[in-house]
Structure 1
Amino acid sequence: MYEFYSSDDIRRQNGDHGLDLGRETGRTAFRKDYARLLHAPSFRRLQGKTQLFPGSESDFFRNRLTHSLEVAQIAGGIAARLNHLAEARHFGEGIDLDLVEFASLAHDLGHPPFGHNGEAALDELMVPHGGFEGNAQTLRIVSTTEQKLVTDAAGEPSSAYGLNLTMRALASVLKYDRPIPLERRDGAALVKGYYDSESELVAAVKNAVAPGYVGEFKTIECSIMDLADDIAYSTYDLEDSLHAGFVTPYSLFDALENRSEIAVAVFDKTNKALADSGYEALDNPGQLTDCIEEVFRGLQPQNGVSTNTGVANKFRAGANAWLRDRQLASNSLARNQFTAQRVGSLIDSVEVKVNEAYPKLSKVMLSREALLRVEVLKHLNFQLVIRSSRLAVVEHRGKDVVRDLFLAFSDTGGRLLPDDWQTEYRAADGDSAKARVVCDFVAGMTDRYAAEMHDRLFGKGMSIFKPL
């Protein structure tokens, strides 16, 4: 009989199993992992990293920290539901909620300042040195760069194990089971995976969690986190866009009907997601509008007039100004109704595909109808908001800031780094290792700190008293 959570799962990175299989006065090994993450500086810094809109524009908008908290809540809801399905018999005493929430809180740790443009800038600079990617950086942070003093196998104090997490916790953030090539040509596309520097660790994690397994490795906790992230992105990021007035229900519908380049892009990406889940593809982009109608069906303005009679017909007739105009931007009750109903229905639509031989590697997925609604809104929001000129200007500036900082720290031989990072830089063996130290430092910056540091180096913000 397999163990859904075995003693090897809770073995820590430094080899220690802990007391009583990780249980100390009622605190499990995974609860300790959760606590170590919650108190880590890299987790706190997520409050200063942009999710969709810059936090300086409005206190309403989500940042990477609040987004991660929402993902954790959704993931916990998914796990709790799965533990009550018939398939739960494969999961021992049940999927551990602490571990699922740990994976969710950790999933964005590796994102650099200024979002995906910051990620692109660092990857371009690191192409000769093994690349950069947010998920790979997350694994590196929790296993290497975040500091927690522990003992090594010889009992000597060491800071070489990051947060010294359990093998199963490390597995829960291994979202892409592929190594990023050490060498790529300039201009090559970003590769999602893990760095070569963590390849031995990844092999150890796989051997501990699923010994003998051959195939793509992804634990059920990671799968739940990944799905919860998609649900949050397609719901709460859309709510931010509605609040900001960047989109309205009508503009989503109109983009699919009258902007063919957007409709085709959303159609192609949605069909790819359907195919990846083994579902039947859509026949043509015209079918996407039915999803928008379904998503907003039943949404009610404050005057109590329901939209149940058909969103699409109302849009075409031009009769419902509440859905056509930007009134959702100021109607917080309606937005709250929209997000609450949507998240609840999506959690209820989650299914699980059990891996009979390795239940730990079972996969969670949405029903076809639910997946369709998630993918259409996710990609529509990307096309209409993230690719809009207003956000493009901000992100373009962020890419320049990240690039300038990296080059300034590298070109000065690390002399501009804080003292502890200078020590790491000097100890690094070779150009690639030194570049990785600089990359780690820049990637860990918040948006505000990066902009401020850039101003101190290249603008008018000089001060010898403000610490680095």
Structure 2
Amino acid sequence: MANKLYQDLDHSRYIQEDDDGETWRSPYRKDYARVIHSPSFRRQQGKTQIFPGHESDFFRNRLTHSLEVAQISESIACMLNAKDPFLRENPIDPRICFTAAHLHDIGHPPFGHNGEEALDECMRAVGGFEGNAQTLRIITQLEKKRYKADVPNAIERRAGLNLTYRTLASVLKYDTQIATDRSKANKVQKGYYECDREIVDDIKKAVCPGVDFSERKFKSVECQIMDCADDIAYSTYDIEDTFKAGFLTPSKILTFDQDVMVEVAKEVSERVEDPDFTANNVTEIFLDLFSEFVLPPEDLSPGEDDSKAEELLMSLSYQQELDLLALDGNLRTSFTSYLVGRFISGVRIEIDESLPQLSKVSIEPKTLREIEVLKNFTYLATIRSNRVAVSEFRGKDIVKAIFEALDGEKGRLLLPADYQELYDAAWNDETRKRVICDFVAGMTDRYAIEFWSRLYSDSGETIFKPL
């Protein structure tokens, strides 16, 4: 007989709590409530997704992105429950997937991946920095919801939101401990911090009791669903934002610089493990997706004849029809909705009957190619464009300058009172740097700019405004 999808210890917590008579509310619903009422969740509204929030109230930020990922995660869980015979009897709890999506980006520092790189460079000799690792740290330590009893040290007594182990498992994307000394590293390493290894071990023991993870990686089914939903949201909503911003139109995409298309093809080829994937395949996928809304002439199918394709793309009338997908608000949102539905339907699950909680969730190959094309093209054509790069470059310098000031002589005096207490309780330089890193990582983009201005600019804020 197959094992259960959920174990008895899944809903246990690091610090055990009474249910206060709330038999009407499951432990996972309590987790969700704690997440959406937490400051870290709210701060995502001040962190950039692609375009700075002050540029337009249309563009996504980290908070609205997380809400969209949550809806997709829940939809995937419900779809799999309905389609798979095992899950019809042992359903995935959509609430855990929903909560995981709300959590998945709270560890991101100000200014997105540039801020992440900046903090990692500042921390490489003492454990590094990584957004997913920081998410785990925030919910297990930094949030001010629960404390351990009879623990005098200000650092060690923190217990964060004290979520259930199954919810914690849903955000543990990378079962790899980040190297403590990464002085010679040149990029961010995915994983969890060495100082958080104990909580990771506790999560594994609760979700998969008695399992030896020396030969396999740990990633819960809910975490995999959230990961698929994140890719779907990233690939669809980000390109909608670029359409709205005027950075791209469908006709521009289909006639884009060939060097970029080659680079996109290279990235997608590695991700989908298809060495024969080419720049022509990138164009074909876009033409196929656009054709669901703007049909090409009947005598032309994607990739059939290069000369015909060039003739089609040179047709002004066809370009104008295509570009309505970007210019017409109704068509634009309908196109995005179509893509989300198309990609959700491509999610699959392979039940592991010996460990159902680690069953493999994946995206079927054709859909994965489409998602990866959209993701990588948006990144290369927009996020790495000079207009966006200028803003992000400044952000990286701001984060590093703040960290260096706080880590300098008498830098502790620049910290808020609660962080000064943590800094003074630290037992070595590594722990003190981690306290500084936690403070900077929790900043929104606007707060980081304001803090930097108070340190370095002639037009800094008044001293009467609290830090």
Size of the alignment, in residue pairs? Answer: 449
Please tell me whether the aligned partners of residues 10 and 17 of structure 1 are also in contact (alpha carbons under 8 angstroms).
no
Letter in 2 for 1:78: I
Letter in 2 for 1:229: D
2:120 to 117, 123, 131: 123
1:110 aligned to 2:83? no
Shift of 1:78: 0.2
- Residues in 1 aligned to 2:221 and 2:374: alpha-carbon distance in whole angstroms: 25
Shift of 1:461: 1.4
Q: 1:71 to 1:308 in 2, by over 3 A?
A: farther
CA displacement, residues 24-83 of structure 1 (integer Å, 9 cap, x when unaligned): 332111111111001000000000000010001000000000000000000000000000
Aligned residue in 2 for 1:5 = 6
Query: Secondary structure of the residue that 1:319 maps to in structure 2?
Result: helix
1:369 aligned to 2:363? no
Query: Secondary structure of the residue that 2:396 maps to in structure 1?
Result: helix
- Residues in 1 aligned to 2:79 and 2:17: alpha-carbon distance in whole angstroms: 30
User: How do 1:122-161 and structure 2 match up within 5 A?
Assistant: 122-150=119-147, 152=149, 159-161=157-159
Give the fraction of aligned pairs with identical amino acids, expressed as a percent.
45
User: How do 1:73-88 and structure 2 match up within 5 A?
Assistant: 73-87=71-85
User: How do 1:259-274 and structure 2 match up within 5 A?
Assistant: 259-260=258-259, 262-274=260-272
1:331 aligned to 2:328? yes
- Residues in 2 aligned to 1:282 and 1:171: alpha-carbon distance in whole angstroms: 36
- Residues in 2 aligned to 1:263 and 1:213: alpha-carbon distance in whole angstroms: 44
Query: Secondary structure of the residue that 1:364 maps to in structure 2?
Result: strand
Query: Secondary structure of the residue that 1:84 maps to in structure 2?
Result: helix
Shift of 1:322: 2.1
Please tell me whether the aligned partners of residues 97 and 222 of structure 2 are also in contact (alpha carbons under 8 angstroms).
yes
- Residues in 2 aligned to 1:91 and 1:436: alpha-carbon distance in whole angstroms: 45
- Residues in 2 aligned to 1:272 and 1:31: alpha-carbon distance in whole angstroms: 39
The worse-fitting range, judged by mean Cα deviation, of 282-291 and 448-457 is 282-291
- Residues in 2 aligned to 1:124 and 1:311: alpha-carbon distance in whole angstroms: 49
1:229 aligned to 2:222? no
Letter in 2 for 1:335: R
- Residues in 2 aligned to 1:363 and 1:81: alpha-carbon distance in whole angstroms: 15
- Residues in 1 aligned to 2:349 and 2:17: alpha-carbon distance in whole angstroms: 30
Aligned residue in 2 for 1:384 = 381
Q: 1:415 to 1:159 in 2, by over 3 A?
A: same
Shift of 1:453: 0.9
- Residues in 2 aligned to 1:311 and 1:191: alpha-carbon distance in whole angstroms: 43
Aligned residue in 2 for 1:461 = 460
Letter in 2 for 1:5: Y
Query: TM-score of the superposition, structure 2-length normalised?
Result: 0.91
CA displacement, residues 286-343 of structure 1 (integer Å, 9 cap, x when unaligned): 222210111111225xxxxx55756864324343232565x54441101111011111
- Residues in 1 aligned to 2:138 and 2:297: alpha-carbon distance in whole angstroms: 48
User: How do 1:276-295 and structure 2 match up within 5 A?
Assistant: 281-295=275-289
Q: 1:85 to 1:440 in 2, by over 3 A?
A: same
Aligned residue in 1 for 2:66 = 68
1:321 aligned to 2:315? no
- Residues in 2 aligned to 1:438 and 1:184: alpha-carbon distance in whole angstroms: 18
- Residues in 2 aligned to 1:454 and 1:435: alpha-carbon distance in whole angstroms: 18
1:355 aligned to 2:352? yes
Q: 1:283 to 1:453 in 2, by over 3 A?
A: closer
Letter in 1 for 2:243: L
Aligned residue in 1 for 2:305 = none
CA displacement, residues 207-238 of structure 1 (integer Å, 9 cap, x when unaligned): 11113143011001000000000000000000
Shift of 1:264: 2.6
Gaps of 5+ in 1: 301-305
Query: TM-score of the superposition, structure 1-length normalised?
Result: 0.91
Where do 4+ consecutive residues of structure 1 move more than 6 Å?
none
Shift of 1:5: 1.5
Q: 1:283 to 1:438 in 2, by over 3 A?
A: closer
